[in-house]
Amino acid sequence: MSALTLLVLRIAFLLLLWVFVFAVVYSLRSDLFGGRVRRVPEGAAPAAPAPASAPPAVQSLPSPPTPGAGAARVQQGPASVLVITSGGKAGLEIPLGTEPLMIGRASDAGLQIRDDYTSTHHARLLLWGSDWVVQDLDSTNGTFVDGVRIDSPTQVPVGVPVKVGATTFELRG
Amino acid sequence: MADVTTTLSRPEEDRARIIRPSTRLRNIELGLLLVALAVSAGAIVLVQLGALGRIDLNVVKLAGGVGVLAIALHVVLRFAARDADPFILPIAIAVNGLGIAEIYRIDLSPTGVRNHLDNGTTQILWTAVGIGAAIAVLFLVRNHRMLQRYTYIAMLATIVLLLLPLVPGLRLRGAAAYVWVSVGPFNFQPGEIAKITLAIFFAGFLVARRDSLAMVGRKVLFVQLPRARDLGPIIVVWVLALGVIVGEHDLGTGLLLFGMFVAMLYVATGRTSWIVLGLVLAAAGAYAAVHILSYVQGRITNWLHAFDGTLYDQPGGSFQVVNGVFGLAHGGLFGTGLGQGRPDLTPAANSDFIIASLGEELGLVGVFAVLCLYLLFVSRGFRIGYSGPDDFGKLLAVGISFVFALQVFIVVGGVMRVIPETGLTTPFLAAGGSSLVANWMIAALLLRISDTIRSGPRTVI
């Protein structure tokens, strides 16, 4: 084994070591910068041509969502935070991804509310197109969007209070 | 209502089939793991080329067994913890592989053949045991919150583990610090495992008591001081740490335990006064230790006057530290190349001083890469703790990550003369079974906590 080969191998090894470090850092980047990839231009584009009506994805719902107070509001992409506005942990913010969020007393719920008025699997928040929709899962005490008890999946515009049990929350952009 | 539910659920299933974030995490892990295994294999082959001039396939095959086990752990994660953090395992494997290569390299050196033959093989076997322990932890602890039930059992276990080396029949003869337990052919450092049980106890204890530790107290000069009776726990841990330092001659473990408690107290309460109090207590303890214990005094003198000629030649003098620094200097920026330096000239080159050995052969560039890997490992641990919804998991993740970071700082700082030298093992790198097993268990706990966080409830009201 000549000295030159060893030298080349040596430097190649140090390079490999750093490639590994940077590979880890590169895979980490979404964590470092957060789930910031909101595709703002893409979300803004469908909202612009049809500002007054519900976005196209929601129109494909079997039963059209009951128009809430802020349903006609123009949104810049889906809401990204759920804020508890009243109840035990008022003020708590929960970041929303793209996954559905289960709300209820069960331990597998994404938002676990432990009070006497909440059912085990009470309601579910889903991202439908670019809108969050709340679906009551046949709960005992009901889910209220803007004070109205819902019986079909209902769009939740930003800033409209949703009541589950003794807890009220709203979505924010 | 019923047909609405069924029609609604279909597009959701479609999306679930397309996105599948859990598999994505495991695929990232697999990709990084393959690179980590390439790093480990490359290191061993380079050691052989440098030191022997040929490739000895027996050792490569043996080390390949570790690779198979690493893949096995990855497969276990796919089933048992699909949403676990994808970076912990590759980083641990890469550092562990580098450690095996360097320990094997010391075995191959002229003095190594006589003095510490076959430590490399032992390290490979201990790595296998460590990965096995990690798999066992992943299966036994299905949800980290169950550990909260064992808060006080963990405390008891810690005390027993810390006292074990003092039991006359079990103590390893001839060691400077009484931290070894010797049962038949096996030597074990129970203090390493005690780190984990103590973190479990602290987390459980602080979750239950932190309100009184955080809220109550009176304000004196900008700092809110805690009540006298809330000082109990920190005093008890301080006495325990001092007991380890005095009774077992183990400065490192004492510092580690106390540092972990202060850090977790701060995380639990968010009060700076606990850190101030901790530093004052540590300074008082250090002052007393320097003046009472001769071995601590010796360490300080070796640190301050390392390059003094008479001290260098004295038995128990600064020979080891200074030789380590010479090795680092010899390595320079890019190192001598694996297998081509003389790291074996430093005593304990494969355990306490392995970072100096690596520094000599991989240079500053290599040491920085290793330190970066440690940094990433610890940052993942803090991140897992940060994103956890339950306070127990938060505290546990932060506690075990902090103790890992503190251990790296104490041992690397000691070798590089930033702080006085204390005998601690470099996590995942140094030769030593107990340390490896303990660190693999820490890795497994972090994996388990991160999985529970991602798949479990995000928020509890």
- The pLDDT of residue B149 is above 60: yes
The pLDDT of A99-111, averaged and rounded, is 77
- The pLDDT of residue B70 is above 90: yes
Mutating which of B376, B458, B460 best tests the A interface, going by the most A Cβ atoms within 10 A? B458
Q: Which residues contact B320 (CB under 8 A, 6 or more apart)?
A: B346, B347, B348, B353, B421
- The pLDDT of residue B111 is above 60: yes
Residue-averaged pLDDT of chain B: 82
ipTM of the complex model = 0.85
pLDDT of B14 reads: 41
The minimal CB distance from A6 to the residues B39, B49, B369 is found for: B49
Mutating which of B32, B96, B459 best tests the A interface, going by the most A Cβ atoms within 10 A? B459
The pLDDT of A73-95, averaged and rounded, is 74
- The pLDDT of residue A70 is above 70: no
Compute the residue count for chain B. 461
B residues 430-459 near A, CB within 8 Å?
456-459
pLDDT of B117 reads: 56
The dihedral through the CA atoms of B62, B68, B73, B74 has a sign that is positive
pLDDT of A69 reads: 40
Which tokens belong to A105?
Answer: 């007393």
Which tokens belong to B8?
Answer: 């609604």
Tokens 């047909």 sit at which residue? B3
Can you give the C-alpha Rg of chain B in angstroms?
23
Q: What is the distance between the alpha carbons of residues B161 and A76, in angstroms, rounded to a whole number?
A: 58
pLDDT of B438 reads: 93
- A6–B340: do the CB atoms touch at under 8 Å? yes
- Beta-strand relationship, A167-172 and A81-86: antiparallel
Shortest distance between the Cα of A152 and any Cα of chain B, in A, equals 7
- The pLDDT of residue A65 is above 50: no
Q: What is the pLDDT of residues B17-67, one digit of tens each?
A: 333 445 888 888 999 999 999 999 999 999 988 888 888 888 888 888 889
- B8–A153: do the CB atoms touch at under 8 Å? yes
- The better pLDDT of the pair B14, B121 is held by B121
Q: What is the distance between the alpha carbons of residues B445 and B451, in angstroms, rounded to a whole number?
A: 10
Residue A59: pLDDT band (50, 70, 90) is very low
- The better pLDDT of the pair B365, B310 is held by B365
Q: Which residues contact A171 (CB under 8 A, 6 or more apart)?
A: A79, A81, A82, A83, A96, A132, A156, A157, A158, A159, A160, A162
Least confident of A34-43, B120-129, B302-311, B445-454: A34-43
Neighbours of B23 (CB within 10 A): 11
Percent of chain B past pLDDT 70, that is, above it, reads 85
pLDDT of A13 reads: 92
pLDDT of B367 reads: 94
- The better pLDDT of the pair B278, A63 is held by B278
Closest C-alpha among B201, B179, B198, B174 to residue B190:
B179
Least confident of A24-33, B212-221, B347-356: B212-221
Q: What is the pLDDT of residues B73-93, one digit of tens each?
A: 999 999 888 888 899 999 999
- The pLDDT of residue B350 is above 60: yes
pLDDT of B249 reads: 76
Put simply, whether B191 touches A (Cβ < 8 Å) is no
Nearest residue of chain A to residue B375 (CA atoms) = A21
- The pLDDT of residue B167 is above 70: yes
* Helix locations, A50-105, DSSP H: 56-59
Least confident of A76-80, B2-6, B56-60, B79-83: B2-6
pTM of the shown model: 0.76
pLDDT of B461 reads: 62
Nearest residue of chain B to residue A2 (CA atoms) = B53
E-assigned strand segments in B248-404: none
- The pLDDT of residue A142 is above 50: yes
- The pLDDT of residue B451 is above 70: yes
- B101, B43 contact by CB (below 8 A): yes
Q: Which residues contact B7 (CB under 8 A, 6 or more apart)?
A: A62
3-state class percentages of chain B: helix first, strand second, coil last, to nearest 5: 75, 5, 20
Which tokens belong to B455?
Answer: 């798949």
DSSP 8-state class, residue A89:
T
Nearest residue of chain B to residue A20 (CA atoms) = B35
The pLDDT of B383-412, averaged and rounded, is 88
- B92, B442 contact by CB (below 8 A): no
Compute the residue count for chain A. 173
- B401, B67 contact by CB (below 8 A): no
- A10–B456: do the CB atoms touch at under 8 Å? no
- A97, A35 contact by CB (below 8 A): yes
The pLDDT of B206-220, averaged and rounded, is 72
Least confident of A80-89, B320-329, B442-451: A80-89
pLDDT of B170 reads: 67
Closest C-alpha among B450, B386, B439, B452 to residue B199:
B439
pLDDT of B431 reads: 86
- The pLDDT of residue A51 is above 60: no
Q: What is the pLDDT of residues B403-446, one digit of tens each?
A: 999 999 999 999 999 988 887 889 999 888 889 999 999 999 99
Amino acid symbol at B116: H
Least confident of A81-90, B19-28, B206-215: B19-28
- The better pLDDT of the pair B242, B415 is held by B415
- A100, A127 contact by CB (below 8 A): yes
pLDDT of B394 reads: 86
pLDDT of B8 reads: 41
